[in-house]
Amino acid sequence: MKILISKYALIALSTLFISGCATVHHDVSQAQSAAQQVAQQELEQLQNWSVRGKLAIISLDERKSASIAWQQHQDKLTMTLTTVVGTTIAKLFYDGEMATLTADGQTWQDPSPSALIYRITGWEVPVESLKYWMKGQVNADLVSEYFDNGLVKSMTAGCEQCLVWQVNYNAYAEFTLNETLYTLPTSLRLNQSSTQTSLIMRIDQWKAKDV
C-alpha cells in the first residue's frame, strides 16, 4: 500500500528540518564563541612566561635565522637572539617605556623596540605585538578566525596592502605553567604583504617565569 503525502506536508517537514538544522548550528556557534572567550581570558591572565625556539625572517633579498629566547614579565621583556653555535647576535630589553639593545659590544636605546632592532640588525620583528601573538592572544585591530576548539587560527588585516602583520597558527601543544594547563602555539607564521616579509617561529619550550 502506497502512502501519499501532500505537498503541504512535505513543505512542513522541510521547514521543520531546516529549522532544526538552524537551531543546531546556532547552538554550535554559541559553544564555539564561549570556547573562544574562555581561551582568550586564560591567555590574558598569563602575564609571566618564557619561551625558547627558532626564528626565521624571509624577505625578497635574504633569509636570516636564529635561536630565540624570550622572557616576559608583565610589560617587561628580554629577547635574546643567538646563532646555531650559541653566539649572541643581539639582546633586547624593554621595560615598557624604553628599549635597550646590545650587540657587538655596543648598546643602543629607543622608545620602540621594533624600530630599534630593525635599525641595528635589519630584522623586522614586531616586538610589541609578539608578546600577545606568541600566546595566541587576538589583536582587536585584526580579523580573527578560530578553530572549532576556540583556539585562534589566524589574524588578518582588512586590506592586503596595510602595513600590518598577518598571523597564521600551524600547531599548538599543551604546557603546564604555574600548575595551570594551557594550550599554546608551537608554530606560527607572520606575513606582511606590503613589504613581502615573512617571519616564521617555532617554539620548542614554554615555561613559567619566576616573579
CB 100 within 8 A of CB 111: no
Residue 196, domain member (yes or no): yes
CB 96 within 8 A of CB 75: yes
Residue 200 belongs to a domain with what CATH number? 2.50.20.10
Look at the block and give the residue holding cell 615598557: 96
- What residues make up the domain containing 141? 41-64+126-208
Q: What is the pLDDT of residue 39?
A: 78
When divided into structural domains, the chain yields a total of 1
Q: What is the pLDDT of residue 159?
A: 60
Q: Looking at this protein, which amino acid is placed at residue 160?
A: E
CB 127 within 8 A of CB 117: yes
Question: Consecutive 10-residue runs of the chain (211 residues): their mean pLDDT?
Answer: 41 46 54 75 90 94 92 95 89 96 95 93 89 90 86 81 81 93 95 88 89 47
Residue 59, domain member (yes or no): yes
Residue 189, domain member (yes or no): yes
Residue 45, domain member (yes or no): yes
pTM of the shown model = 0.80
Residue 7, domain member (yes or no): no
Q: Are strands 48-58 and 63-73 parallel, antiparallel or unpaired?
A: antiparallel
Q: Are strands 88-94 and 76-82 parallel, antiparallel or unpaired?
A: antiparallel
In the chain the first and final C-alpha atoms are separated, in Å, by 79
CA distances from 159 to 53, 60, 137, 156 (A): 31, 21, 21, 8
Q: What is the pLDDT of residue 84?
A: 81
